């Protein structure tokens, strides 16, 4: 696995679009093997599979989240992501930054979208990598990709990555706010040039943002509605259907730890029943600042009118479950 990642990282660091595309495909192939590989079967299940295969083409069904945590390949991959050298999210972010420097054109936009798709997948499979977006420079990369002049497909994909980056990480949300993220989101929403499907995703994002927050330490030690993985219209980049949040089973299996040096102070917390080192970047007193729906409503109200209607609708429809009081 290390050899494959090494070759992929070499391609991702290239300035040749063909090599970058090859690196992205290699990473995608690795993730596909982890997520789609077959789980061990009993003798009865093997016989049942043989009967099914005689009448249907061979397919590899996606694994359930509960299966992934027991898969040796996934556990090896997860452990590799804990270190600086093999962390895929860091390489994808660096690749994004280089691609953005080339401007917007058809081929380059497709590479950016592919990179964003993989980044979202990595952030879901390895939640600790989301800590990277507690840093201004990484958050600004996503916000720059929400420029009104960029293609709608790129904006929509960026919104999915942004939600995943903020998911269950209040410190990332504080970085988003401090870097004028609310201004960026509302400006894109107000722009007449913004495509309708992008505006729908922006509304979904605002609902997501207005949810009350729970500190990571509580998310790691207990099952709560605000610990989640993201599903949007079946997981595709063009799907609708809204954000759907459910308990993350993957998030329990590893430590919410910093990736490499320079990620802030570290402390020990109980995570899935074990004492682990976790990242405490950007928090001087070791406490993570969380905000309620009412506090977020006040912040969002500086840029958008009738935010109270959004909150009322959120409480009535409860698109993410009964977590808004």
Q: What is the mean pLDDT of residues 264-288?
A: 42
Q: 191-199 long-range CB contacts below 8 Å, 24 or more apart?
A: 191/148, 193/148, 194/148, 194/152, 194/155, 195/152, 195/155, 197/152, 197/156, 197/238, 197/240, 198/152, 198/155, 198/156, 198/159
Using one digit for the tens of pLDDT, what is the confidence trace for 35-93?
Answer: 876 555 555 655 554 554 444 444 556 666 667 777 888 889 999 999 989 999 999 99
pLDDT at 174: 97
pLDDT at 70: 78
Confidence of residue 217 (pLDDT cuts 50, 70, 90): low
Residue located via tokens 């798709």: 117
What span, in angstroms and rounded, lies between the C-alpha atoms of 159 and 235?
13
| pLDDT at residue 210 tops 60 | yes
Closest to 140 (Cα-Cα) out of 103, 104, 93, 102: 93
What span, in angstroms and rounded, lies between the C-alpha atoms of 149 and 197?
15
pLDDT at 72: 87
User: In the chain, which ranges are E strands?
Assistant: 229-232, 243-246, 265-271, 274-280
pLDDT at 135: 97
Higher-pLDDT residue of 171, 272? 171
Q: What is the mean pLDDT of residues 290-317?
A: 92
pLDDT at 118: 97
Q: Mapping DSSP to helix (H, G, I), strand (E, B) and coil, where does residue 246 land?
A: strand
| pLDDT at residue 279 tops 50 | no
User: What value does the mean pLDDT of the chain take?
Assistant: 77
* Chain center to CA of 249: 15
| pLDDT at residue 258 tops 50 | no
Q: Mapping DSSP to helix (H, G, I), strand (E, B) and coil, where does residue 243 land?
A: strand
Using one digit for the tens of pLDDT, what is the confidence trace for 219-247?
Answer: 554 433 333 333 333 333 333 333 333 33
Q: Give the Å distances, CA to CA, from 173 to 28, 118, 168, 170.
A: 28, 21, 9, 5
Using one digit for the tens of pLDDT, what is the confidence trace for 154-203?
Answer: 999 999 999 999 999 999 999 999 999 999 999 999 999 999 999 999 99
Using one digit for the tens of pLDDT, what is the confidence trace for 120-142?
Answer: 999 999 999 999 999 999 999 99
Residues 6+ apart with CB under 8 A from 67: 39
What is the DSSP-derived secondary structure letter of residue 228?
Answer: -
pLDDT at 116: 98
pLDDT at 132: 97
What span, in angstroms and rounded, lies between the C-alpha atoms of 79 and 29?
18
| pLDDT at residue 277 tops 70 | no
Segment among 71-75, 149-153, 301-305 with least mean pLDDT: 71-75
pLDDT at 267: 44
């Amino acid at each position: 696995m290390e050899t494959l990642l090494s070759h992929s990282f070499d391609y991702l660091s290239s300035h040749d679009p063909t090599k970058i595309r090859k690196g992205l495909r290699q990473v995608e192939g690795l993730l596909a093997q982890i997520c789609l590989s077959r789980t061990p079967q009993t003798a009865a299940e093997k016989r049942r599979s043989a009967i099914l295969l005689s009448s249907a083409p061979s397919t590899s069904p996606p694994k359930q989240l509960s299966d992934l945590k027991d898969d040796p390949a996934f556990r090896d991959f997860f452990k590799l992501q804990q270190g600086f050298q093999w962390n895929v999210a860091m390489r994808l972010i660096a690749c994004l930054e280089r691609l953005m420097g080339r401007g917007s054109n058809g081929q380059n936009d497709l590479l950016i979208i592919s990179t964003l798709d993989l980044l979202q997948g990595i952030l879901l499979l390895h939640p600790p990598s989301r800590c990277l977006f507690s840093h201004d420079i990484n958050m600004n990369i996503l916000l720059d990709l929400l420029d009104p002049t960029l293609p709608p497909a790129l904006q929509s994909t960026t919104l999915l990555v942004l939600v995943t980056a903020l998911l269950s990480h209040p410190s990332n949300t504080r970085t988003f706010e401090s870097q004028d993220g609310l201004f960026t989101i509302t400006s894109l929403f107000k722009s007449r040039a913004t495509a309708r499907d992008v505006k729908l995703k922006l509304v979904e994002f605002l609902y997501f943002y207005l949810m009350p927050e729970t500190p990571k330490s509580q998310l790691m030690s207990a099952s709560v509605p605000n610990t989640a993985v993201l599903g949007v219209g079946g997981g595709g980049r063009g799907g609708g259907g809204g954000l759907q949040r459910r308990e993350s089973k993957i998030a329990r299996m590893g430590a919410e730890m910093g990736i490499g040096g320079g990620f802030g102070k570290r402390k020990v917390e109980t995570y899935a029943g074990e004492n682990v080192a976790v990242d405490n970047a950007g928090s001087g007193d070791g406490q993570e600042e969380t905000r309620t729906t009412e506090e977020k409503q006040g912040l969002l109200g500086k840029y958008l009118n009738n935010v109270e209607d959004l909150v009322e609708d959120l409480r009535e429809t409860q698109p993410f479950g009964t977590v808004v009081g």
